């Protein structure tokens, strides 16, 4: 089961100053067989990750457009959409993680709610509009 959340370990690591803007953040796609939730602490490797091939490489893809803003009293971390072009992929969710850290520490889990697929086309993950009530990664 994939449960959308900001993982618990990221919450404490933010206060410890472990995650930095200069780091590389990645997004990896997972099948419906994956178990990802608030207890996920690191990039889980290829176990139930979308398989290599057909336009996807395990470890996922680097995220660009790192942006931190403040909306009222809510801090927001946002990224640009990411696309796997000309791909054949079926994914149920994703893990955003800090690729720069030795442990590849988890940031958040995305649940798509059901399987999403592409067949020799673009598979795109688009983040919600940035805002205190809508952003995926926010600290209130």
pLDDT of residue 44: 78
Strand pairing report for 82-98 and 74-78: unpaired
Asked whether the whole model's pTM tops 0.85, one would answer: yes
pLDDT of residue 136: 86
Q: Which of 74, 84, 61, 94 has its CA nearest to residue 137?
A: 74
| Full pLDDT tens readout for the chain, 140 residues | 999 999 999 999 999 999 999 999 999 999 999 999 999 999 977 789 999 989 999 999 999 999 999 999 999 999 999 999 999 999 999 999 999 999 999 999 999 999 999 999 999 999 998 889 889 899 88
The 3 state secondary structure assigned to 68-127 is EEEECCEEEEECCCEEEEEEEEEEEEEEEEECCCCCCEEEEEEEEEEEEEEEEEEEEECC
pLDDT of residue 87: 96
CA 108 from chain center: how many Å? 6
Residues 101-128 pLDDT 10s: 999 999 999 999 999 999 999 999 999 9
Distance CA 116, CA 97 (A): 21
Q: Are 111 and 92 in contact (CB under 8 A)?
A: yes
């Amino acid at each position: 089961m994939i449960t959308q959340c900001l993982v618990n370990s990221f919450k404490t690591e933010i206060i410890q100053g472990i995650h930095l803007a200069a780091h590389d953040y990645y997004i990896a796609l997972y099948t419906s067989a994956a178990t990802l939730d608030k207890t996920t602490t690191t990039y889980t490797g290829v176990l139930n990750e979308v398989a290599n091939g057909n336009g996807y490489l395990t470890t996922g893809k680097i995220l660009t457009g790192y942006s931190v803003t403040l909306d009222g009293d809510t801090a927001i971390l946002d990224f640009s959409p990411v696309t796997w072009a000309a791909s054949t992929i079926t994914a149920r969710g994703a893990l955003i993680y800090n690729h720069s850290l030795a442990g590849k520490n988890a940031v958040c889990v995305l649940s798509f709610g059901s399987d999403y697929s592409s067949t020799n086309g673009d598979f795109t993950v688009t983040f919600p509009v940035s805002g205190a009530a809508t952003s995926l990664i926010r600290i209130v």
